[in-house]
Amino acid sequence: MLGRVELTGDVAMVAPAAFTLIAGAEMSFDVEEMEMLVDLYLKATFLTSAVSRADFTVFVDGLDAAAGANGMACLTPALAGDINTVSAQRTVRLAKGTHILQGRLKVAAGNVTVKGTTIPCELVARRHSHPATLGHGVDSKAQLIQ
């Protein structure tokens, strides 16, 4: 694992109309190879003050890893005040060096609270590995040249 952040407290956010950092959902990690495939994972439990779509994503070095207007995961609660959970994973190719990972969210209307006291919010970066493609002692560079 390259890094992990777990938020166990609640984070209230007032009308985040653009992707806004979830307070505490930020970390740095190092890629030691020239290039590496990295799995990014975000899980968050939240409630909204209005029936409004909530979009979650992960930013790497200030750029949306999903490269899309709606991020990596989204959910529209059936009722305002419902507690919901989203999780998403994305694999990205990163160059050697130190990288900053951030969990961010936006909602179309109303306020949102990330409920870390209900289920901890997680932000994880791990080296991509799959038993079908990587054997013991094989680094991820072998996948990058395929």
What ranges do the domains of the chain cover?
3-144
As a whole number of angstroms, the distance between CA 96 and CA 68 comes to 24
Residue 1 is predicted with a pLDDT of: 83
pLDDT mean over 85-104:
93
Q: What confidence tens digit (pLDDT) does each residue in 32-80 have?
A: 888 889 999 999 999 999 998 899 999 999 999 887 777 888 888 888 8
pLDDT mean over 81-87:
90
Helix, strand, or coil (residue 142): helix
CATH of 3-144, one of 2.60.120.1340, 3.40.50.1470, 3.40.50.720, 3.40.50.2300: 2.60.120.1340
> Which is it for strands 54-60 and 63-64: parallel, antiparallel or unpaired?
antiparallel
Q: What confidence tens digit (pLDDT) does each residue in 118-143 have?
A: 999 999 999 987 555 555 555 555 55
